[in-house]
Amino acid sequence: MSDLQLLEQLEAAVNAESEPVMTPADAYQKTVRGETEFVPLHDFADRVAASMLVPYPPGIPVLMPGERVPSDNNSILCYLSALQEFDQSFPGFEHEIHGVVVDDNGQYTVRAII
């Protein structure tokens, strides 16, 4: 495993500017109506989040419902990918990330608006 630089990646992720596409309430309505899908983390660029993404620690949201992951600045996805790599390398010490579902292969999936 390479040096993941988690603190530097965290700082970049929380300072990344995402693009608000709809209000969190509109994103919630799409979720309730089944207008979302789970996508692998590597396919989440340029998609709109259906739920808040909050890694613990530190518990700071990196993406809110209704915000698009910027395709020109993937610091959010890079940070989440580094956490995924850490979790796969150190079973039993996985991160808790609100809004991320881990599949049977240890891959992160995220709910996105269709």
Taking the alpha carbons of 39, 43, 45, 47 in that order, is the dihedral positive or negative?
A: negative
Select the more confidently predicted residue: 69 or 50: 50
**71/90 Cα distance (integer angstroms):** 29
Task: Return the pLDDT at 57.
Answer: 84
Q: Give 21-37 pLDDT, tens digit per residue.
A: 999 999 999 999 999 99
In the three-class reduction of DSSP (H, G, I as helix; E, B as strand; rest coil), residue 12 is classed as: helix
pLDDT in tens, 40-66: 999 999 999 999 999 998 899 999 999
Amino acid at 100: V
Residue 8 structure tokens: 């530097």
pTM of the model: 0.90
Cα of 78 vs its chain's centroid, Å? 10
pLDDT tens profile 81-113 = 999 999 999 999 999 999 999 999 999 999 999
Question: What confidence tens digit (pLDDT) does each residue in 3-13 have?
Answer: 889 999 999 99
Return phi, psi of residue 79, to 5°.
-65, -50
Check residue 88 and give its pLDDT.
94
